[in-house]
Amino acid sequence: MTDDENLIPKPKPQPFNRALLLVISLVIGLLIWHLLASLLGLPAFILPGPILVWQRFKVSLLQGQLLYHTSVTLVEVLAGLSLGGIAATILGYLLSKSPAFEKMISPYLVASQSLPIVAIAPLLIIWFGPGTFSKILICSLTVFFPVLINTVVGLREVPQDLRDLMRSLRAGWAQTFWKLEVPAALPIFLGGLRVGATLSVIGAVVGELVGEKLGFRGDGAALHRVVRARGPVLGVFLDAVHVGVPVRAEENRAQLEVVALREDAAVAHEGVL
């Protein structure tokens, strides 16, 4: 490949092309789902077809149940995501700055992840009651670990030459943190937050299965009412989309900011030299 070919900018995927690919993949997924439900001949409570799910979704939507319980679950998800994300970010920053503290606390963090959230949820319901706080706490626990790991990795992946540049410019702790560490670690951090956003929806539904009859449990997400859960399953999907898509968009924007940060740092480094 010649130098002239390297200078030619590669075409970026247009938003229309992305939307078209999304529609095509959705249609293909629905067709595969319909074929499996038709060919396997399983009962509707095991594998309902997309038409049955859509019918149940419309019934729940027209009755007003779906919007109400979706809003309840969405509040729990957002609160749990915020609480778990903030706690994980603070602890992750401390771990990234102190290897001794990380060695001391890492065994407990790893051991905590060996316990499934389904086993912990009933205990949290008993300790804190069947109210909203226990659901938020369950969501925050599911969010905590992936955000923690990505925070530590993101901060440690900040290039050492950029840190040296900040020291040469006599930048203080606050300037280094806000102008270097946060922008450079943000894409990796948001990647963990995107995973945590999806897991937080699962945590909310698990909490509702063993708690009060609000959220998707109140609209039929309990295991003994699986047939009625066809519509709420779409509601859970919508909650995950509402939480995950903005995080993904912010992650893309942060990646562009990191590229700009590296370019500015290179220019500043040349100026120092």
Helix/strand/coil (H/E/C) assignment for every residue in 51-103: HHHHHHHHHHHHHCHHHHHHHHHHHHHHHHHHHHHHHHHHHHHHHHHCHHHHH
* Residue 32 buriedness (CB in 10 A; 0-12 / 13-18 / 19+): exposed
User: What pLDDT sits at residue 212?
Assistant: 58
Handedness of CA 234, 236, 237, 243 (dihedral sign): positive
> What is the four-CA torsion angle of 90, 147, 136, 76, rounded to 10 degrees?
120
pLDDT of 4: 46
Residue-level pLDDT at 262 = 57
What is the per-residue pLDDT for 206?
82
3-state helix, strand, coil in the chain (%, to 5): 85, 0, 15
pLDDT averaged per 10 residues in sequence order, the chain, 273 residues: 47 64 87 89 81 81 77 86 92 89 85 80 85 88 90 87 83 86 85 84 80 50 39 50 53 56 54 51
